[in-house]
Structure 1
Amino acid sequence: MEQAHGIAARLAAFMDEHIYPNEALYEAQLHEVPGPPFRVPPILEELKARARAEGLWNLFLPTSAGGPGLTNVEYARLAETMGRVHYASEVFNCSAPDSGNMEVLLRYGSEEQKERYLQPLLEGRIRSSFCMTEPAVASSDATNVETRIERDGDHYVINGRKWWITNAYHPNNAVYIVMGKTDPNAPLHRQQSQILVDPDTPGITRLRPLSVFGYLDEPKGHAEILFENVRVPAGNIILGEGRGFEIAQGRLGPGRIHHCMRIIGQCEKLLEQTCRRLLSRVAFGKALAEQSLWQDRIAEARTQINMCRLLTQHAARLIDTVGVKEARSEIAQIKVAATRIGQAISDMAIQAHGAAGLCDDHGLGFAFARMRMLRIGDGPDEVHNRTIARLELDRHRGAESGQA
């Protein structure tokens, strides 16, 4: 615990000294004209080098992989701090989907796979993508995925279309983890496999970047990708055929803790922006902050943020003590709660800023777009609520049987 407190203090100091003062420079470099799209702002690489030199690097990893070995509860505090600025996680090599992909390779990858892909990810030299979602099916049910991964001698051949593939346009992207069916006749949850694919392999076409309410989310981007007879060495399959769902479940629990705590960090910053705005604006003879309607909204936002933080910390503690399987309901609950609260608070911040909230002067349009996207990304509310309800009903079914 003492180590975690020390890292948290150093991280907060780094944010104060290096991240917040460079937010405007980051945006200016990202959108500088003329210049290519999806460029990496030079300040980002400078900040990454500084963070690594200060030992604020791979903070989510166990000690065996060179990380600090924090529990999920301890790391949650760090994720909230990083979440206050949308690109800060990358500065510390803790950004999604790289963090989840690193955990997959660490847990399930072969030694050859670790050497080729994990090591450069750990060093922050490359970025990665996770390719699951497809446009032709309801991908909230992963059993619907239609991409085929078929064995052909010493290779697998991949055919399919994916979309909303985060990081696909990042200039440093060097590996995709692709999920598809190796055996459509196997039991439902043994049909899928995951395989490592180099983005420059022949047969891969990035069809288009997908924007979120007009935002391209640079420099990483989200792509629609076509795989046509893409030949990949058989040694690139992760863990073995039919293990795709097993791998996916292994990465979901901790990853959702990271996501939700980053959302809480963003909410804290949005609430701060809102309060400053309300204190500085006068309407109808008094500051907006003195209007009872806005006081009610601020009070509700503070309450909701605190409740969500405690719920997420509770889920993290369950993962640490009893494991992901026993924490399934709580993991689903935080995904629903955090994204809904994030969307509501970003909307409130826009309303408080009036017309200024609609443009990018305060970063609120992009914040709202990200929050709305996260309500669908990593599973929509409906899927998680279905899990919560089923688990809750199962508890009572068991009780009814016992009484009978």
Structure 2
Amino acid sequence: MFKKILPLNSIIFLRFFGIFLVLPLISVYASSLESATPLLVGIVVGGYALTQAILQVPFGVWSDRVGRKRVIVFGLVIFLIGSVISYFATDIYTLIFGRLLQGAGAIGSVVSASVSDVTREEERGKAMAIIGASIGMSFALSMIFGSLLGGYFGVDFLFLITALLTIIALYMATKIQNGGKIEIIYPKRGTEVSIFSRKEILYLFASSFLQKGVMAITFVIIPILLTGDFGWEKSELWKLYIPAMIIGLATMPISIKVGEKGGNPKLVFLISAFMFVIVAGILSFGNSENLIITALLLFFPAFNLIEPLIQSMATKFVRADEKGKVLGYTNSFAYFGTFFGGVGAGIFLSFGSVNELGMILIVLSAIWFVWTLTIKNPIPKGNLYLKHSHFLQQKLERGDFEFVDEWYLNVSENLLVVKFDKKKWNEEDLLQKIK
């Protein structure tokens, strides 16, 4: 499995590393360019996410028709062109164009589909977890290297690094294995219930939007405050970002242990939302350098606590045939959150103050916290992977097994996949009952 997903994992790591690399300093850099305004700076910070959100689904559909590898290569070339344009940009409008092009290489959903194509059913969850961990690691490392290298060599140099990394990603794309599209047959359902009518799913969409929106706002406000109000040099910001990121990384194992393995993601989301309330309060009422530093040191743990859980949780509240749709919406809400967070902060700062923006964040974070109190933890489910037989399929179709929550047929791998409630049954007892 690892050999199959290595090129895809490398591509997703390099691409996200390049996107995040400029984040610690991009607002300060954009503010120094010709024709810069707070609104345009906000578009620079979050603009890539708008084109990314809009083009996720079209790229996925296109890859179904012409093949994954071809679309991945095309998306990387677009990302490369956007990075080069951003490197040579000397005014705010050219930089915006470059950032929008970077986002237009929207291959995230295509890479996920490729992972599904080249892995077996029982390997797929682990493969997706590896991809998710790579994205988290790319964010962590980019915060460190972006602030360090950008501070000493300039933010434009970071776009050059991104372009070079994209060339490496293009080479890795040539190593992608072609996997036959897996055919899955789902049994006919009764009345369909829209995913937008399920409160846990709506909550996760909102959480994805708010988490990324707060991230964008934070990276608009804090660098400007530190360099403008408190006299920090851009080359010094790494001294703050590195310890903040280390603290944030240290919370991820706790998040996985409590939320994933412990089966209590609600507690993790509550802690995260409460920490965001505190961060917003500091940004609103804090008037000292130490308080702003404290806000950043709290932001990273709050962000990283739920980062490993959002997509995992989303898939646990839906049927297997709805996972792709739900993950697509979750990603789109995240990208829209990044865009509207960055642009919204820019618009607001054109006529309002950082303190007033912080008060809006307090209200949003408080609503998020209260909303979290109303959701339920997902019921732990297990999967049985059974060799297909018409006899067993007929029994499943008749509903002979009261313990089955859902099932489907993986035609390509000749497997019947049976999902069950782990609180009520264990795998050994179920196998005995089926046989």
Q: Name the TM tier (shorter chain).
A: 0.3 to 0.5
Bigger strand share? 1
Bigger helix share? 2
TM-score between both structures, scaled by the size of structure 1: 0.33
